[in-house]
């Protein structure tokens, strides 16, 4: 975050430019995911409001990258999975954050469910997660939350990355090509339903969605309580005719305490004040977002700017 007070001298007239403006770089994910279109849309709403906060969205590898970049000050806000936010806040749970608790993390809002999509080529003979053994599997991008989901879900089925034929750590865009070229048999992606990467694969490759259910889902949820059961609705993607049981976490917008209350409040008012416009950014928001749900199950405390915003909306928050 940069706070810049600049005065441009034009002839004799002194024009205050960007006086006291707060600049927010919002970390997102792949351009084919849901974080990116949502963060881009929010940045536009913040800029259009002209309230002294300027925002831009940055494409990144995903949740783990975003939380590291928030800790280093490279990002000022980010969208990330609630489980990964919690691990970063506590400094535990996953290797990347071990012993590095970022207690200055704050929640702005819980956004929408991110559902584990395990997409398999129909010709790869994969019907269950257990069938991934020996297969070439896209496990998520470097710095993704997807990789963490993949690890935990495989573990619930008694598998590790070493049991796969290949664990491909690539961007969703590369994952699409690998699936199309038959260089990957399956792909993990923890992402809002309707993500363009999954739609693109389903449109160009004969695929099935592999279920996560039964005892394995139960033991996953018991060990990692941020997961909930979630059914991917029939017809969400081309060729997927039936509902498929899976699990989900939540996408959350977070920011450090270093961003001032006033800037966060103004950003929230611009991005969340008009619920209809917000919901227009993506079907995941349209179908799931509400102010009530935005403050439930917080992985880190609310930022004071968010508290102010939600109080104005009549919610009992602190
Ligand atoms: N949940 C994914 C991750 O953290 C990103 C999803 C998205 O970009 O929409 O890796």
Q: What is the pLDDT of residue 11?
A: 35
Residue 281 lies in a domain: yes
Q: Are 75 and 25 in contact (CB under 8 A)?
A: yes
103 and 217 belong to one structural domain: no
User: What 3-state class would DSSP assign to 16?
Assistant: strand
191 lines ligand 1 (CB under 6 A): yes
Is the per-residue pLDDT at 106 higher than 90?
yes
171 lines ligand 1 (CB under 6 A): no
**DSSP code for 1:** -
Is the per-residue pLDDT at 231 higher than 50?
yes
Cα 192 to averaged position of ligand 1 atoms, centre (Å) = 8
User: What 3-state class would DSSP assign to 13?
Assistant: strand
230 and 118 belong to one structural domain: yes
> Does residue 1 or residue 297 have the better pLDDT?
297
Q: Are 224 and 66 in contact (CB under 8 A)?
A: no
- Report residue 267's pLDDT band, with 50, 70 and 90 as the boundaries: very high
Is the per-residue pLDDT at 18 higher than 80?
no
Q: Of 223, 291, 273, nearest to 42 (Cα)?
A: 273
What are 27-43's pLDDT values in tens digits? 999 999 999 999 999 99
Note the residue count of the chain.
318
242 and 120 belong to one structural domain: yes
Cα 234 to averaged position of ligand 1 atoms, centre (Å) = 22
b/e 274-313 (16+ beta carbons within 10 angstroms → b):
eeeebbebbbbbeebbeeeebbeebbbbbbbbbbbbbeee
What are 145-194's pLDDT values in tens digits? 999 999 999 999 999 999 999 999 999 999 999 999 999 999 999 999 99
Find the domain containing 51 and state its range.
10-112+251-312
Is the per-residue pLDDT at 19 higher than 90?
no
Residue 195 lies in a domain: yes
Q: Report the residue among 78, 81, 148, 249 best suited for mutation to probe ligand 1: largest number of ligand atoms under 8 A from its CB.
A: 81
Cα 33 to averaged position of ligand 1 atoms, centre (Å) = 6
Full DSSP string of 81-145: EHHHHHHHHHT-SSGGGTT---TTEEEEEEEEEEEEEEEEEGGG---SGGGGTTSEEE---TT-S
Full DSSP string of 185-215: SEEEEEE-TT-HHHHHHHHHS-EEEPP--HH
CATH number of the domain where residue 169 is located? 3.40.190.10
Atom of ligand 1 nearest to the CA of 192: 9
Cα 66 to averaged position of ligand 1 atoms, centre (Å) = 10
Residue 317 lies in a domain: no
What residues are paired with 229 via a beta bridge? 247
272 and 226 belong to one structural domain: no
> Does residue 122 or residue 9 have the better pLDDT?
122
214 and 283 belong to one structural domain: no
Domain edge (last residue) among 209, 234, 249: 249
Q: What is the pLDDT of residue 60?
A: 98
- Report residue 1's pLDDT band, with 50, 70 and 90 as the boundaries: low
Domain edge (last residue) among 249, 276, 295: 249
256 and 136 belong to one structural domain: no
Residue 23 lies in a domain: yes
Is the per-residue pLDDT at 15 higher than 70?
no
Q: What is the pLDDT of residue 4?
A: 56
Residue 305 lies in a domain: yes
Residue 83 lies in a domain: yes
Total count of domains within the chain: 2
Cα 135 to averaged position of ligand 1 atoms, centre (Å) = 23
Cα 80 to averaged position of ligand 1 atoms, centre (Å) = 7
The protein residue whose alpha carbon is closest to atom 6 in ligand 1 is: 191
Residue 47, burial from CB neighbour count under 10 angstroms (0-12, 13-18, 19+): middle
Domain edge (last residue) among 194, 226, 249: 249
Full DSSP string of 246-268: EEEEEEEEEEETTS-HHHHHHHH
Residue 3 lies in a domain: no
Residue 29 lies in a domain: yes
Atom of ligand 1 nearest to the CA of 61: 10
Q: What is the pLDDT of residue 47?
A: 98
State the average pLDDT over residues 3-13: 43
137 and 99 belong to one structural domain: no
- Give the pair of three-digit tokens for residue 115: 């559902």
CA 81 to CA 171: how far, in whole Å? Answer: 17
129 and 235 belong to one structural domain: yes
33 lines ligand 1 (CB under 6 A): yes
Q: What is the pLDDT of residue 20?
A: 82
147 lines ligand 1 (CB under 6 A): no
234 and 131 belong to one structural domain: yes
- Give the pair of three-digit tokens for residue 30: 């792949």
Percent share of the chain, pLDDT over 70: 94
Is the per-residue pLDDT at 9 higher than 80?
no
Q: What is the pLDDT of residue 2?
A: 57
Is the per-residue pLDDT at 17 higher than 80?
no
State the average pLDDT over residues 94-117: 97
193 and 132 belong to one structural domain: yes
């Amino acid at each position: 975050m940069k706070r810049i007070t600049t005065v441009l001298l034009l002839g004799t007239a002194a024009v205050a430019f960007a006086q006291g403006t707060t600049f927010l770089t919002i970390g997102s994910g792949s351009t084919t995911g849901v974080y990116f279109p949502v963060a881009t849309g929010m940045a536009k709403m913040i800029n259009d409001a002209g309230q002294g906060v300027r925002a831009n969205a940055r494409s990144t590898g995903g949740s783990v990258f975003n939380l590291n970049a928030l800790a280093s000050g490279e990002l000022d806000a980010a969208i990330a999975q609630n489980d990964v936010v919690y691990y970063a806040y506590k400094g535990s749970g996953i290797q990347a954050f071990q012993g590095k608790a970022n207690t200055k993390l704050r929640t702005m809002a819980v956004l929408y469910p991110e559902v584990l999509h395990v997409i398999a080529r129909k010709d790869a003979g994969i019907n269950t997660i257990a069938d991934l053994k020996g297969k070439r599997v896209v496990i998520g991008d470097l710095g993704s939350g997807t990789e963490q989901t993949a690890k935990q879900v495989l573990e619930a089925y008694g598998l590790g990355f070493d049991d796969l034929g290949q664990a491909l750590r690539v961007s969703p865009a590369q994952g699409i090509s690998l699936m199309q070229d038959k260089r990957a048999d399956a792909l993990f992606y923890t992402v809002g339903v309707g993500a363009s990467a999954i739609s693109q694969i389903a449109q160009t490759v004969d695929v099935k969605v592999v279920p996560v259910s039964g005892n394995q889902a139960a033991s996953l949820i018991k060990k990692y309580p941020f997961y909930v059961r979630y059914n991917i609705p029939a017809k969400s993607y081309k060729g997927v005719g039936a509902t498929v049981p899976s699990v989900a976490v939540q996408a959350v917008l977070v920011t450090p305490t270093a961003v001032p209350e006033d800037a966060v409040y103004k950003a929230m008012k611009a991005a969340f004040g008009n619920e209809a416009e917000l919901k227009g950014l993506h079907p995941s928001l349209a179908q799931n977002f509400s102010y009530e749900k935005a403050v439930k199950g917080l992985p880190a405390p609310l930022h004071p700017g968010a508290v102010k915003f939600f109080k104005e909306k009549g919610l009992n928050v602190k």
